[in-house]
Structure 1
Amino acid sequence: MRIASVQLEAGPNAEDNVAKVEARIRDVADSGADLVVLPEIWNLGYFAFDEYAAGAEPIDGPTMSHLQSLADELDLYLHTGSIVEADGDDLYNTSGLVSPEGELLDTYRKIHTYGYGSREQELLTNGKRVVTIDTVFGTVGLVTCYDLRFPELFRALVDQGADLFLVTSAWPIPRLEHWLMLNRMRAVENQVFLAASNLVGQNQGVELAGHSLVVDPWATPLANAGFHERTVVADVDLDMVAEARDDFPALADRQFDLSYDL
């Protein structure tokens, strides 16, 4: 399968951001992409906290509906990146996976909202559900940005059968090395493929790290977008997940009968 990770700068106008994303998706569809991954809160810009309430949408609102139509038209899987989802009185950081028929297969509400230099914890409600989705290629697990620092979530995804992690993110540049390391670690310790899409450029005075990437089960980067607006593409064979686990059976050596209490 061919995975494309879209890296872009989120501007102040949501309509312009939607148009930019649509153009990127159409371009990569022409190159034969089977799955496209988008960044975190790309339509508003992650750090546009004052816009969250006004820019929030229900899950069947215009942004998700537009992405569903695109996936259907272009016959590809589309990881929607995340939007600010409005559900009653609560707001969530919500991503989803759309099928090539335009069906929203499932959604994931970010479990670990972020507080360091961010108002996300103040404004948004934490998700409560670990989400994996079966596709024709394999089982994918959805995670968002700060989730990368919590390895227990990724173990839960693997225990639900995930062989590909999809990461949507708005990771700032001061912790770029953490970004590069954590994506590779989450892949290698769980022996899965990982595709991550990050914002880049400036958003509300914050510089984003870019470096959207695709990583294989041995922690080898197959593609990296660097510091610029671009889309990176990698061809992956998910059969390599089973091969890696057979060759180096670390997951099979887990000791479930030990509580690890010290």
Structure 2
Amino acid sequence: MRFNLATIQLSLTDHVELNYNKLARFLDELEEGSLVLLPEMFFCGFDYDRLEEFALLSEYIIEKLKLTSRQKNLLICGTVPEHTEEGIKNTAFLIEDGKVIGRRSKVKLFYPFEEDRYFVPGEENPVFKTKFGRVGILICFELRFTDMVLDLKKKGIDILLVPAQWGYARREHLRVLSQARAIELQSYVVVSDTWGEFKGTKFAGQSGIYSPWGEVLEFSETGDIYLEAEADLSYVEEVRSAIPVDIK
């Protein structure tokens, strides 16, 4: 099965409408029937002063993305601040053909960025069955945690999605970890990061698409841009057959 993988890299502003409109233009240009990844907190960033306000907007943003997904036959993933009974969570969503088919909240909060002060951690690390195969999601900082990666490997995934707002000072970590996880998992890895400066923090860019062999299919350090690459699930099986490293 062959299909189009895409990742969108954005610089953020204080204005939700500007952020979303920039994103929407890229979604309009993408090939129909694509799997597309958006950055972590893509419409608002980590603006803690307005977090409650943005959490109230999240479902409206998701409804807009559901419409685009339905119109263009897209599978869309990103993260938003989500109100829950426990508090606000940083929650990833999967929208397939206009319907939300899955959500998972960030488990590993990034303490140096004070995420633990403003967000409640999630608890689960599920695998989602999609029309493009089995998908796992690790949100930004979670990419560092080998236990979460191995958990996904045991469960079996074809594609790992990594929505991120990764700091510029640690940019090489993101690049190296992304490629390493593709090799470890023998799966496609898609990374979507923000770039430029927002609220006094400079972000890494380093968005990319990696093959199950660890090849860099697409990569960008800077710029508002979308990247695309063809994926083939039969290649996942080919790589795993060539180098069997199944965990028993």
Q: Which residue of the partner structure matches residue 57 of structure 1?
A: 56
Unaligned 5+ residue runs, structure 2?
none
Q: Which residue of the partner structure matches residue 208 of structure 1?
A: 203
Q: Which residue of the partner structure matches residue 123 of structure 1?
A: 118
Q: Which residue of the partner structure matches residue 25 of structure 2?
A: 23
Structure 1 length-normalised TM: 0.90
Structure 2 residue identity aligned to 1:232: L
Q: Which residue of the partner structure matches residue 99 of structure 1?
A: 96
Structure 2 length-normalised TM: 0.95
Contact 1:58/1:85, CA 8 A, preserved across alignment? no
CA drift of 1:108 comes to: 1.1
Contact 1:90/1:124, CA 8 A, preserved across alignment? yes
Give the aligned CA root-mean-square deviation in angstroms. 1.4
Q: Which residue of the partner structure matches residue 153 of structure 2?
A: 158
Contact 2:32/2:72, CA 8 A, preserved across alignment? no
- Identity among equivalent positions (%) equals 26
CA drift of 1:58 comes to: 7.6
Instruction: Confirm whether residue 186 of structure 1 aligns to residue 186 of structure 2.
Output: no
CA drift of 1:57 comes to: 3.0
Contact 1:49/1:120, CA 8 A, preserved across alignment? no
Unaligned 5+ residue runs, structure 1?
257-262
Instruction: Confirm whether residue 228 of structure 1 aligns to residue 223 of structure 2.
Output: yes
- In structure 2, distance between residues paired with 1:10 and 1:107: 23
Structure 1 residue identity aligned to 2:4: R
CA drift of 1:97 comes to: 0.7
Q: SS of the residue aligned with 2:91?
A: strand
Contact 1:58/1:86, CA 8 A, preserved across alignment? no
Instruction: Confirm whether residue 147 of structure 1 aligns to residue 145 of structure 2.
Output: no
CA drift of 1:152 comes to: 1.2
Instruction: Confirm whether residue 11 of structure 1 aligns to residue 10 of structure 2.
Output: no
Structure 1 residue identity aligned to 2:109: T
Q: Which residue of the partner structure matches residue 67 of structure 1?
A: 65
CA drift of 1:161 comes to: 2.1
Instruction: Give a deviation string over 1:146-172, Cα, whole Å, max 9, x none.
Output: 000101112212222211001100001
Contact 2:42/2:80, CA 8 A, preserved across alignment? yes
Moved over 3 A (4+): none
- The count of residues paired between Structure 1 and Structure 2 equals 246
CA drift of 1:33 comes to: 5.3
Q: SS of the residue aligned with 1:10?
A: coil
Contact 1:3/1:33, CA 8 A, preserved across alignment? no
Contact 1:49/1:119, CA 8 A, preserved across alignment? no
- In structure 2, distance between residues paired with 1:220 and 1:148: 18
Instruction: Give a deviation string over 1:185-239, Cα, whole Å, max 9, x none.
Output: 1111111110110011111011111121000112111000221111111111121
Contact 2:187/2:211, CA 8 A, preserved across alignment? yes
Contact 1:8/1:229, CA 8 A, preserved across alignment? yes
Structure 2 residue identity aligned to 1:56: A
Instruction: Tell me: CA distance 1:74–1:32, structure 2 relative to 1, closer, same or farther (3 Å).
Output: closer
Structure 2 residue identity aligned to 1:163: D
Q: Which residue of the partner structure matches residue 239 of structure 2?
A: 244
Instruction: Confirm whether residue 112 of structure 1 aligns to residue 114 of structure 2.
Output: no
Contact 1:151/1:186, CA 8 A, preserved across alignment? no
